[in-house]
């Protein structure tokens, strides 16, 4: 219980529990707000002083008994009896100080009210003109409209005309061919999803046999969509006329046939594992013929990825004299006792997060081949002549596929040789 409640009598309110300032305001509404604030302040101060003087002189025992008597019946608010007495004094105070002319002060109060109302209205006008939005970038979803698909060449970027396009949606089917600008447009009445096929045969035109077809599964259109797609020429990927199966084994092989698995960021660590302590036999472990060959392998990675992965400086390579361990966000090379291998690990988005290779220290060609194979989700056990098959330098096909995998195709895109469509095609992902 508060001090006010301990030191007052029970108060009986006429219409609910109102605070003193609002009661006085309702009673003396004809008084200006500025004068009323001063009156209320002086009035309340006088009430408290009189209560204090009335209780002054009571013994401690009487004060205790008096407080105990009040504690069970008091309500929050000013004492009713003394409030009535002081109300008469308050009325007298108003009269003596020139506040009896209620009509004049009512007019002043009305004018003040009008001014406050107009000020509030002026403040609200900007908000009414530009109502707040929970998200200024929000735009309602499209309910239909044109969908434009433009087709380009993967390597030279040129527009491709007369390329057949087919869209098989859940509730719609469209087909046609690209015009002179390389684009085809169709109208949808509502959002649709389905399969978009590029350079597949349809009733509009036969496919262009020079280019590998592409298919986008589970694509969605809502209207006003502009899709840019590139397809690759067969001759550009296979200038030597190799078997497509051998090409895919070399550059898209391994444990995930046909899938493009690549690094999407610069590796953070480069580690050389030397469990047989070969490098300890040199006065400077990082400046000798063995370490030089390993550095050549790291530089071959930079060349193969078309500069996407940058070879590390020699002093940034770490040497560990132990059996290899997987290093997150790192590339490693292990000096083995004869076994050669390449390895990589990708996440659910087909992005490489670890990769490495190993072989004997006296075979630089294997070092280069295994390390390059470890950063492209492929395999060097191929029947074609590439760097992965014992060559000391990257050849034309190596560079083409390195650029294709790292610069022209997104992680997770897949090349299919024997699929449901019965011919070589790509399964693509929208970036």
What percentage of residues in the chain have a pLDDT greater than 90?
47
More confident residue, 185 or 131: 185
3-state secondary structure of 157: coil
Which tokens go with 273? Answer: 């594992």
pLDDT tens profile 339-368: 888 889 999 999 999 999 999 988 888 899
N- to C-terminal Cα separation, the chain: 68
Model confidence pLDDT, tens digit, residues 241-252: 999 988 888 888
pLDDT mean over 158-176: 93
Of 145, 188, 153, 151, the C-alpha closest to 167 is 188
Strands in 225-231's sheet, in edge-to-edge order, are: 183-188, 145-153, 225-231
Residue 25 has pLDDT above 70, yes or no: no
- Tokens for 129, please give them: 């003109």
Using only the alpha carbons of the chain, give its radius of gyration: 43
H or E segment and range at residue 415: strand 414-416
Q: What number of residues does the chain have?
A: 431
pLDDT score for 85:
53
372-397: average pLDDT: 76
pLDDT at 168 over 80: yes
Q: In angstroms, rounded to a whole number, what is the distance separating the alpha carbons of residues 246 and 387? A: 14
CB atoms < 10 A from the CB of 404, how many? 21
Does residue 431 contact residue 410 with C-beta atoms inside 8 Å?
yes
DSSP letter (8 states) at residue 429: -
Kindly report, residue by residue over 43-81, the tens digit of the pLDDT. 545 544 454 444 444 444 444 444 444 344 344 444 444
CA atoms of 300 and 95, how far apart (whole Å): 103
CA distance to 23, 70, 164, 200, 416, per residue, from 78 (Å): 11, 13, 89, 90, 89
Phi-psi group of 312: left, alpha or beta (phi > 0 → left; psi -120 to 50 → alpha; rest → beta) = beta
Q: pLDDT by residue (tens digit) across 122-134?
A: 665 554 544 444 4
Per the DSSP assignment, residues forming a β-bridge with 180 are none
Cβ(188)–Cβ(211) under 8 Å? no
User: Do 143 and 191 touch, CB atoms closer than 8 A?
Assistant: yes
Tell me which residue has tokens 């992680």. Answer: 411
Sheet strands (E) in 321-373: 330-335, 341-346, 352-359
Per-residue pLDDT, 325? 85
Q: What is the DSSP letter of 241?
A: -
């Amino acid at each position: 219980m508060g001090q006010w409640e301990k030191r007052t009598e029970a108060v009986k309110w006429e219409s609910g529990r109102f605070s003193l300032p609002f009661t006085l305001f309702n009673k003396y509404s004809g008084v200006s707000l500025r004068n009323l604030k001063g009156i209320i302040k002086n009035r309340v101060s006088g009430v408290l002083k009189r209560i204090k003087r009335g209780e002054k002189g009571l013994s401690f025992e009487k004060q205790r008994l008096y407080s105990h008597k009040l504690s069970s019946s008091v309500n929050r608010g000013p004492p009713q009896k003394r409030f009535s007495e002081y109300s008469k004094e308050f009325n007298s105070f108003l009269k003596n100080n020139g506040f009896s002319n209620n009509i004049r002060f009512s007019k002043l109060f009305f004018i003040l009210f009008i001014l406050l109302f107009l000020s509030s209205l002026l403040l609200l006008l900007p908000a009414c003109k530009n109502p707040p939005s929970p998200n200024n970038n929000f735009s309602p979803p499209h309910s239909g409209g044109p969908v434009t698909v433009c087709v380009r060449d993967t390597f030279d970027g040129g527009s491709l005309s007369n390329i057949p396009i087919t869209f098989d949606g859940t509730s719609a089917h469209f087909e046609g061919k690209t015009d002179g600008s390389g684009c085809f447009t169709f109208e949808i009445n509502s959002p649709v999803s389905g399969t978009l096929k590029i350079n597949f045969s349809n009733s509009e035109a036969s496919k262009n046999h020079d280019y590998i077809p592409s298919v986008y599964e589970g694509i969605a259109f809502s209207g006003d969509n502009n899709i840019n797609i590139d397809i690759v020429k067969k001759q550009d990927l296979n200038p030597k006329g190799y078997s497509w199966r051998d090409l895919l084994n070399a550059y898209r092989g391994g444990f995930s046939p046909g899938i493009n698995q690549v690094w999407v960021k610069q590796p953070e660590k480069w580690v050389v594992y030397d469990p047989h302590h070969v490098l300890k036999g040199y006065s400077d472990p990082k400046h000798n013929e063995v370490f030089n060959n390993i550095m050549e392998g790291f530089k071959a990675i930079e060349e193969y990825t078309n500069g996407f992965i940058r070879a590390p400086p020699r002093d940034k390579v770490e040497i560990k004299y132990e059996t290899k361990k997987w290093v997150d966000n790192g590339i490693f090379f292990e000096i083995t006792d004869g076994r050669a291998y390449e390895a990589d690990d990708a996440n659910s988005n087909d992005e490489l997060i670890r990769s490495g290779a190993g072989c004997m220290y006296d075979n630089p060609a294997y070092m280069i081949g295994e390390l390059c194979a470890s950063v492209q989700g492929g395999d060097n056990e191929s029947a074609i002549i590439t760097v992965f098959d014992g060559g000391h330098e990257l050849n034309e096909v190596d560079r083409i596929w390195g650029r294709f995998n790292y610069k022209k195709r997104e992680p997770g895109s897949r090349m299919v040789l024997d699929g449901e469509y019965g011919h070589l095609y790509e399964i693509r992902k929208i970036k």
